[in-house]
Amino acid sequence: MTPTLPFHSRRSPVYSLHGMVASSQPLATAAGVSILAQGGNAADAAVATAAALNVTEPASTGIGGDAFMLYYEAKTGIVHALNGSGRTPQALTLERIQAAGIQQQIPDHHPYAVTVPGACAAWCDTVQTLGKLCLPQVLAPAIRLAEEGFPVSPLSARSWRTAAEQVLASSPNGAELTLHGRGPADGELFRNPALAQTFRQVAEGGKAAFYQGTIAEKIMDTLQKAGGCMSEDDLATHQSTWELPISTSYRDWRIWECPPNGQGLTALIALNILEGFDLSELPALSTQRLHIEIEAMRLAFADTRRFIADPEHASIPVDELLSKAYAAQRRKEIFLERTNPDIQTGNPLAKSDTVYLSVVDGEGNACSFINSLYMGFGSGIVPSGSGFALHNRGCNFSLEETHPNCAAPMKRPYHTIIPALATRVRDGSLAACFGVMGGFMQPQGHMQVVSALLDDQLNPQAALDQPRFCIQQDLAHSEVLLEDGIALETMAQLAELGHRVTPVNGYRRGAFGRGQIILRDSDSGVLIAGSDPRGDGCAMPVV
């Protein structure tokens, strides 16, 4: 394996009439395609793909994590949103956290970072409410992959090996997800019979088998032995929530995101700000274009890092933040001749690690689905004999008592994972099912691919191939990662404008996320898909 990870090849967009699946692992994509071929719809295929990704990319995702979903229903034109994120244990108070000597942030691999995993309920609720097939059919491909084994893909193998050394080696039961203590090599077979058994129990017993049966006992027992405080009742009372999605118009499309506690709001605020600039007149990846986009994202992050929290515990001014008037106000803080070093949270009330997959079926239904453990293997804590790791979303809580996202019992944290959809403003028809995974890169990726698709008229594959920027979360200093492919002269000019720029190439390109896009032509129904070259995956049509 080359250490530099050069992008020497090219991909064409993939076309289909009868359905499409795009994910970061070819075997998982094939699992989703097989479900569509069996008569399943986009919801069924999305869950099948998500479960298969748990098998093939366990450092990134799994049933021990959280999930969010957007679903475009072709028959009605309605966009549904499902929040599959979990809550903190009832016993996890700020005082308890502080008594453990934790002051600034919950450590990444601490049992307090584990909130109730919401993915299983999200899978079951998606299939039951929107799908056409039964859960045993939907989970069958993933069960087969886990039981029989699969050859590990290159980038997944690399992250697996790193996590085996740095996380799993010292985590409770972490060795169960390794090969005698090491991560598998490229092309090496890995079997996970324990995960196959977990999936069988869920297939037969639904979400109750996960949150109330032996699986729940394994989760609770392992966490309590590690020093956590999750209880039987915390797991048994977990529920997904169906919510109204949020959206804004950008050019000819309406962009849809899940509402807070997710950060999709960040992408929409940034797009509202960008709408006031004629970006099509500025060459893609030019200094001025990148400067405007970076500043718009910095403004959006300044607002959402302040306001996004669990809406059951905080009042979030979503409508005001998404108003075009507020965007016009914020747009004035972008200086074309230099970066703005004083970007702060605005006043919207002045006037009052992860996998993403995309599925569109032959009927035009679309499922934008994202599932994550957050960091590599999440908390690293593995419930004994379960075959999966538990996520560490709780480390995203603030420990500042007055902050809306401050840790508290039965609370969902600020969440980074966000799926997206686009419909056409003129008639509400499906335009695109898309997403870009990768921590705080995600809203930045959404903004960049939407602009590439609409302002530059690129096809989905070209939009994903295009080099990206990634703002680091130190807003005061505006550090920006710039991907190999952006001209060195442009990087130098951005530095002259005041940006702290860092060139990035090789495996560090993972900082720019991995995306999937499926477009649907409103006249012909033709599907056009792309899959991110920064991952191992592909888009695959139904024949």
Nearest CA among 420, 20, 379, 367 for reference residue 253: 420
Provide the token pair at 208: 């109750």
Question: CB 78: neighbour CB atoms within 10 A?
Answer: 11
Backbone angles phi, psi at 345, to 5 degrees: -60, 135
Residue 448 buriedness (CB in 10 A; 0-12 / 13-18 / 19+): buried
User: In the numeric block, which tokens belong to residue 371?
Assistant: 């599932």
Cβ burial, residue 4 (10 Å; 0-12/13-18/19+): exposed
Among 264, 246, 211, 315, which Cα is nearest to 419's?
264
Host H or E run for residue 29: helix 26-37
The owner of tokens 């109750």 is 208
Spatial contact of 245 and 251, defined as CB atoms under 8 Å apart: no
- Other Cβ atoms within 10 Å of 437 Cβ, number: 29
Q: Count the neighbouring beta carbons within 10 Å of the beta carbon of residue 8.
A: 5
H helices of 226-314, in order, are: 232-236, 264-274, 287-307
Are residues 542 and 18 in contact, defined by beta-carbon separation less than 8 angstroms?
Answer: yes
Do the beta carbons of residue 177 and residue 382 sit within 8 Å?
yes
Strand pairing report for 500-504 and 479-483: parallel
Neighbouring residues of 322: CB distance < 8 A, sequence distance ≥ 6: 246, 248, 265, 268, 269, 272
523 class by beta-carbon count within 10 Å (0-12 exposed, 13-18 middle, 19+ buried): exposed
SS3 313: coil
Assign 3-class secondary structure to 105-166. Answer: CCCCCCHHHCCCCCHHHHHHHHHHHHCCCCHHHHHHHHHHHHHHCEECCHHHHHHHHHHHHH
User: Is 129 a residue of the active site?
Assistant: no
Interior angle at CA 249, CA 248 and CA 253, nearest 5: 125
Cα four-point dihedral sign 199, 202, 205, 210 = positive
Other CB atoms within 10 Å distance of the CB of residue 425? 14
Beta bridge partners of 326: none
Out of 178, 287, 339, 354, which one is annotated catalytic? 354
Which residue's entry shows tokens 């993933």?
Answer: 142
Dihedral Cα 334, 336, 337, 340, nearest 10 deg = 10
Q: Which residues are catalytic?
A: 354
